[in-house]
Amino acid sequence: MPLPTVILPGYLAGAIDYQQMQHTLAEMGVPTVTVPLRKRDWFPTLGGRSVLPILERLDQTVQQVRQQHGTEQINLVGHSAGGWIARIYLGENLYDVHGMIDGSSKGVPGAKQVYAWNAHHYVAHLVTLGTPQTSYERWTLKNLNFVNLSYPGAFYADVHYLCVAGKAVFGARQRGSWLAYSSYQLTGGRGDCWGDGITPIAAAHLEGAENITLDHVWHSPRSPGRWYGTPEVVHQWAKPLINS
């Protein structure tokens, strides 16, 4: 039987947006749980602040799933920002780029464990969907710089990284493509390229990972076309989860 899978929603998204993705994976024989987030759970992270509240909810869900299924490992699927947050979760470096640990606790034995999950031991496959692995957005730089300096590329050899990009919109300074152009430029530094309408292909891929690009796939469930959670699209990227 495949390992259980945990889905981490994207920025400002709730678990309800991933019901179809979760249901499709379950129909494929993959027991799946979505981190039970609501949109308001993201509010403390606005403006580039610490994503610690999301990491804590992710860890709670992963540990519950491991206990429920009696398994050492799980698979992790991160959509959009959920993908790079998952990369923080895998790591053992202290995540305190926002100074949330006061000086009195930094030398206390065990304090680091609260802010460094070292969870790559728990994760067999990490799948990122439309994740901006890099970005020029000033409000994401502190977090993403931490990720990419601490864990560059497909950092952990014991984890299989699959990074999925969508190719739906070519960014251009014209009606219908302006939002994509602006988002691609903010994320990757160039607007005139292909992407899923939010994340350009180049930014969604990661050095050393298995990188794939899916045609006509948009970024979010509110997009005008198929997105990463559409059943037929899930079947295109979920094979590693079935074979785990």
Nearest CA among 182, 175, 164, 172 for reference residue 218: 164
* Each residue's pLDDT tens digit, 197-236: 999 999 999 999 999 999 999 999 999 999 999 999 999 9
- CA triple 74-220-167, angle to 5 deg: 95
Region class of 95: left (phi > 0), else alpha (psi between -120 and 50), else beta: beta
In the structure, what pLDDT confidence band is assigned to residue 113 with cuts at 50, 70 and 90? Answer: very low
pLDDT at 77: 98
Pairwise CA distance, residues 236 & 214, whole Å:
8
Q: Where are the alpha helices (DSSP H) in the chain?
A: 19-27, 52-69, 81-90, 111-115, 141-150, 178-188, 201-204, 231-237, 239-242
16 φ, ψ (degrees, to nearest 5): -60, -30
d(CA 178, CA 166): 17
**d(C-alpha 80, C-alpha 239), whole Å:** 20
Nearest residue to 153 (alpha-carbon basis) of 206, 229, 218: 206
**Domains located in the chain, CATH noted:** 5-165+199-242 (3.40.50.1820)
pLDDT of residue 96: 83
Mean pLDDT of 124-144: 94
- At 106 the pLDDT is 42
The overall average pLDDT reported for the chain is 92
- For residue 85, which amino acid is it? I
Of 43-52, 110-119, 154-163, the range with the lowest mean pLDDT is 110-119
Mean pLDDT across the stretch 124-132? 98
Amino acid 115: pLDDT: 79
